[in-house]
Amino acid sequence: MASPTIGVLALQGDFALHIRALERLAGERSAIDSVGCSVRKVRLPSDLAGLDGLVLPGGESTTLVKLAKDYGLFEALRDAARRGLAMFGTCAGAILLGNGAEPPERLGIVPVAVQRNAYGRQIDSFEKPIALEGVPGGPMRCVFIRAPKFDPALPPEVEVLGKDGQDPILVRHKRCLLSSFHPELTEDLRVHRLFLEMCRAGPA
């Protein structure tokens, strides 16, 4: 794939920071190998057309689901994932992509049980350097804000790319990447670069 087009779900949350990270990465890639990527906002089902990847940002998960349904995007996202669109969910976005018995309703695209706000409330937010097995280059500063947790009892088809102690914090399943932390809140582009490489690889 020459130059993937990446969408960022821009209904609510920190989508602008993901756009900035991808635009920085696009410039970096262009300087290296003239490939890069293009980035655009996604607010309607029609915006999904022609995408090679989609970022679902952090924010407030119940609000994100409500807006996705109001804009007719909820089922469109599920259908796009089933057709093989690569997706990257951070925090609230990861909650939507996974499963869970508690509200909000989930897309259920990735077979991972995700517990929202499992690290605590806003006051319990923290950051720490963590070495991620699936992201080379040394420890990454990981920012957790009302972060979810992934059930460590994962099916074998889910690959754990990083842990905080025994808790998975970065997992991959087929063409989906889920992060419980916020890589867009740092200047480190390695997780976004990993997703871009997943998009460039195309469907298996």
Q: List the catalytic residues.
A: 91, 182, 184
Pair 39, 26: CB distance under 8 Å: yes
Phi/psi at 37 (5° precision):
-160, 165
Residue 172 to residue 155: CA distance in whole angstroms: 11
User: Average pLDDT per run of 10 along the chain, which is 204 residues long?
Assistant: 87 95 80 68 97 96 96 97 96 96 94 88 87 93 95 96 96 97 96 93 72
Which domains, and CATH codes, for the chain?
5-201 (3.40.50.880)
Contacting residues for 113 by C-beta, under 8 A, at least 6 apart = 98, 99, 100, 150, 151, 153
pTM over 0.75: yes
